[in-house]
């Protein structure tokens, strides 16, 4: 549940910006940037706590680890959107390739680190 809540936070921040400015060029009100920073903080906090909570309640397992790593990869993608909207860079195909590459790289690295 904590992992799912973490992904909801970052997705809410992306859903504020992306429909209104898919090109990452416009400036938004300050509260949207504060919300984005809060969402990233909540994601990192919940991601750090979810494994400990699962082990404490004896609900950890391989499926939970797979779900956690999958959500981490998706959140890396969302985090990139939040970061680049804050910088207001223009979106290009290279930008999307970089975001996708970081998501795949994060997913691949975390799965190998559990061995």
* 113: phi then psi, degrees, rounded to nearest 5: -75, -15
Catalytic residue list contains 69: yes
Secondary structure of residue 34 in the 3-state scheme:
helix
* Cβ neighbours for 12, distance < 8 A, ≥ 6 positions apart: 35, 39
**Which is the catalytic residue, given 69, 73, 78, 106?**
69
Coil, strand or helix at 26: coil
Phi first, then psi: what are they for 25, rounded to 5°? Answer: -115, -25
Q: Which residues are identified as catalytic?
A: 69
């Amino acid at each position: 549940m904590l992992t799912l809540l973490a992904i909801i936070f970052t997705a809410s921040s992306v859903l504020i910006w992306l429909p209104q400015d898919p090109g990452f060029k416009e400036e938004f009100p300050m509260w949207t940037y504060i919300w984005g920073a809060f969402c990233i903080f909540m994601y990192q906090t919940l991601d750090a706590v979810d494994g400990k909570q699962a082990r404490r309640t004896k609900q950890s397992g391989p499926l939970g680890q797979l779900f956690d790593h999958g959500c981490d990869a998706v959140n890396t993608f969302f985090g990139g959107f939040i970061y680049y909207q804050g910088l207001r860079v223009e979106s290009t195909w290279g930008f999307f390739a970089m975001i996708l590459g970081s998501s795949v790289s994060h997913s691949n690295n975390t799965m190998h680190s559990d061995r």
